């Protein structure tokens, strides 16, 4: 209904041409109404708290192939919608709501990271990790700076690979031991060294290890907040401190997951303890998702070169419309 309203408003010839709609002016009250409607839709998709509760349950029950599609592609449609519709098409309303949404994003980073630490279902733990990382995307979008928006775009791409890879590895480990709860696992490192290696590397990528795409994405979002002209210094420092705390919590729950799954002696008490490690096809899939993570971390200018012109166009339209 919001999309139809935008198309029909103030035009004798309704059009779906986005370039035409971007140059269309709307009364502020109507723009706010459109903004709220689109935001609710995209907030469920991204997801943004408190509209996130469907995601951990979905990931916890779905097959890992479904989890890969959801984490790698479908969630990112919410972020894309916020950039293309809410930010580019409705800039005045976005300016009004952005400061509040940054607060929501900062809370989301801490809340989801803390909640992830208490999960015993490994897929739910990874799902809450995804919710936490979406907070960085929301903050980058609402920073209203070129660095912040570029950082959000890199985070969208980065988490797409990392999240999908983690769910794939969670699925491959489940295929071996048929266990999903971490308190029932342990001692898999000796029998599954290839899965351990890939799981460890992708977990380090998720916690923003330097040299990986996640580190660069979150670092650029940090600089985007600092260099943004919209907000005062003290609020920016508070947001950065909260983001930093979230980055400290991330290795706690990810490394604890690795410890519970791969170390200790629990599974060695199982009779006939013997598993097949990753085969060639599983290694090919894992490495195919790992290589872009490393490539973006080493040479992020490639992603920037794809997005910088569009980011400048969005911000130019935002400030000078």
131 and 109 Cβ atoms separated by less than 8 Å: no
Containing structural domain, residue 172:
59-309
Q: Kindly report the average pLDDT of the chain as a whole number.
A: 85
Task: Report the C-alpha gap between 135 and 109 in whole angstroms.
Answer: 5
Q: 225 pLDDT exceeds 80? A: yes
Asked if residue 317 is part of any domain, the answer here is no
Asked if residue 3 is part of any domain, the answer here is no
Which tokens in the block code for residue 218? 């979150």
The H-assigned helical ranges of 118-232 are 122-142, 146-177, 193-206, 213-227
Q: 73 pLDDT exceeds 70? A: yes
Asked if residue 43 is part of any domain, the answer here is no
pLDDT at 320: 46
Of residues 161, 164, 203, the one with CA closest to residue 59: 164
pLDDT at 283: 92
Where is average pLDDT lowest: 79-83, 100-104, 133-137, 178-182? 178-182
Q: For the residues 259-274, what does the mean pLDDT come to?
A: 70
The model carries a pTM of 0.89
% of the chain surpassing 90 pLDDT: 37
**Highest mean pLDDT range out of 45-54, 161-170, 269-278?**
161-170
pLDDT at 321: 45
Where is average pLDDT lowest: 63-72, 121-130, 204-213, 226-235? 226-235
Asked if residue 246 is part of any domain, the answer here is yes
pLDDT at 273: 54
Phi, then psi, of 121 in degrees rounded to 5: -75, 120
Residue 59 CB partners (closer than 8 Å, separation 6+): 67, 70, 71, 123, 124, 126, 127, 130, 167
Asked if residue 151 is part of any domain, the answer here is yes
Q: 64 pLDDT exceeds 80? A: yes
The string of pLDDT tens digits covering residues 121-145 is 999 999 999 999 999 999 999 988 8
The DSSP output letter for 74 is I
Asked if residue 320 is part of any domain, the answer here is no
7 pLDDT band, cuts 50/70/90, is low
**Cβ burial 242-251 (10 Å sphere, 16+ → b, else e):** bbeebbebbb
205 pLDDT band, cuts 50/70/90, is very high
Q: 16 pLDDT exceeds 50? A: yes
Q: How many domains, the chain?
A: 1
Asked if residue 227 is part of any domain, the answer here is yes
Q: 12 pLDDT exceeds 70? A: no
Where is average pLDDT lowest: 24-38, 88-102, 277-291? 24-38
Asked if residue 260 is part of any domain, the answer here is yes
Where is average pLDDT lowest: 8-22, 102-116, 134-148? 8-22
């Amino acid at each position: 209904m919001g999309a139809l309203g935008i198309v029909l408003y103030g035009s004798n010839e309704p059009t779906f041409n986005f370039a035409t709609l971007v140059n269309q002016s709307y009364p502020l009250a109507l723009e706010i109404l459109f903004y709220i409607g689109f935001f609710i839709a995209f907030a469920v998709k991204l997801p943004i708290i408190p509209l996130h509760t469907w995601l951990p349950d979905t990931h916890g029950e779905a097959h890992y192939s479904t989890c890969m599609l959801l984490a790698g592609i479908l969630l990112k449609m919410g972020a894309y919608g916020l950039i293309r519709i809410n930010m580019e098409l409705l800039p005045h309303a976005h300016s009004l709501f952005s400061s509040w949404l940054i607060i929501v994003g900062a809370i989301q980073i801490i809340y989801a990271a803390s909640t992830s630490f208490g999960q015993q279902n490994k897929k739910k733990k990874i799902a809450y990790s995804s919710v936490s990382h979406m907070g960085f995307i929301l903050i980058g979008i609402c920073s209203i700076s070129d660095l912040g928006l570029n950082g959000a775009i890199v985070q969208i791409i980065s988490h797409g690979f990392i999240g999908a890879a983690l769910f794939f590895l969670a699925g491959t480990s489940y295929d071996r031991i048929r266990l999903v709860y971490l308190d029932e696992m342990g001692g898999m490192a000796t029998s599954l060294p290839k899965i351990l290696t890939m799981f460890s590397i992708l977990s380090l990528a998720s916690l923003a290890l330097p040299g990986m795409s996640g580190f660069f994405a979150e670092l650029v979002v940090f600089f985007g907040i600092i260099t943004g002209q919209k907000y005062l210094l003290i609020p920016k420092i508070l947001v950065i401190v909260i983001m930093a705390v979230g980055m400290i919590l991330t290795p706690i729950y990810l490394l604890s997951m690795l410890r519970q799954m791969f170390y200790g002696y629990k599974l060695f008490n199982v009779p006939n303890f013997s598993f097949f490690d990753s085969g060639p096809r599983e290694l090919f899939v894992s490495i195919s998702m790992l290589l872009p993570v490393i490539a973006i971390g080493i040479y992020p200018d490639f992603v920037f070169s794809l997005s910088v012109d569009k980011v400048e166009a969005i911000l130019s339209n935002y400030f000078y419309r």
